Amino acid sequence: MTNFLDFSALGMIWKRDLIRLSRDRAQIAGSLARPILWLVILGLGMGSSVSGFGSGRYVEYLFPGIIALNLLFASFLSAISIIWDREFGFLKEMLVAPIPRASIALGKAASGATVSTLQGCLVLLFIPVVGVSVSWARVALALPFMFLIAFAMTSLGLLVAARMTSFEGFGTIANFVIMPMFFVSGAVFPLDRAPRWLSILSKVNPMTYAVEGLRGLMRGGVSWGFLLDLTVLALFALLAVRLAVWAFSRRM
């Protein structure tokens, strides 16, 4: 374990990224713009012309999905800070320090997950705007699960970013990962009436369990179905972070 965990380094890497976020208004603005687009325009706009989303309005169905979307975007893209650090030389400062490579990856996963959970929470500001009925107790229950989603997706991003040297390349891959994961997750439309191939795809998509879990927590509370979502997502997070650490520990 000593080859893995170096708490002073891990804590400092985490703290640094939070300081950086607090000074970056564009990033905060971006995570506010996304829910406006999806929730207010798509949610309220499309909601008025479609029906048949169970008991509630469309926006009620969509709401947990948009939290998941913000988490997915913010987490996956937070990994770009590794490319940033490499480009501006700061990564070298970490690589020549007497700290295990794994701690760099874990510190980055922790900070990315924290930053993204905060950005996911920004969506909650829209509860009164779009008129979703959800109690604050339920929201509080969802927070740790949101962090788990963020941690899993940040690790996935780090795995992709670990050996990349170009922003453009990462951006392209990010689009090819984020959008399909989002659309095939049941975030914007239910998958029970979707074609068979699509529903098979959704079953192997970790975001499906993220969206379903969040929806379960916010609309119904903890159930057996939720336990399945939690297990799948936790296993995926473990696998992704293990691979990210491995990608980092190789000589770079």
Distance CA 198, CA 111 (A): 34
Stretch that binds another protein, among 42-50, 51-59, 98-106, 225-233 (CB under 8 A): 98-106
- Residue with smaller CB distance to another protein, 45 or 171: 171
The label of the residue with tokens 């969509």 reads 62
**Can you say whether residue 189 is alpha, beta or left, with left for phi > 0 and alpha for psi between -120 and 50 degrees?**
beta
Contact pick of 18, 33, 48, 90 for another protein (by CB under 8 A):
90
Of 87, 83, 78, give the one whose Cα is nearest residue 110.
Answer: 78
Task: Please tell me whether residue 97 binds another protein under the rule CB under 8 A.
Answer: yes
Stretch that binds another protein, among 84-92, 197-205, 207-215, 220-228 (CB under 8 A): 84-92
Question: Can you read off the two tokens belonging to residue 24?
Answer: 């970056």
- Residue with smaller CB distance to another protein, 17 or 60: 17
Q: In whole angstroms, how close is the CB of 120 to another protein at the nearest point? A: 23
- Residue with smaller CB distance to another protein, 26 or 204: 26
Contact pick of 133, 163, 167, 222 for another protein (by CB under 8 A):
167
Kindly give, in sequence order, each residue whose CB lies less than 8 Å from that of residue 40, ignoring residues fewer than 6 positions away.
Answer: 126, 129, 130
Q: In whole angstroms, how close is the CB of 13 to another protein at the nearest point? A: 8
Contact pick of 88, 136, 197, 224 for another protein (by CB under 8 A):
88
Stretch that binds another protein, among 71-79, 87-95, 108-116, 179-187 (CB under 8 A): 87-95
Question: Can you read off the two tokens belonging to residue 193?
Answer: 């009436």
30, amino acid identity: G
Which residue stretches of the chain are H helix? 7-22, 25-35, 45-47, 58-78, 80-87, 90-95, 101-122, 127-130, 136-161, 167-183, 196-203, 206-219, 224-249
Contacts with another protein by CB under 8 A lie at 8-9, 11-12, 16, 19-20, 23-24, 86-90, 92-100, 165-168, 251
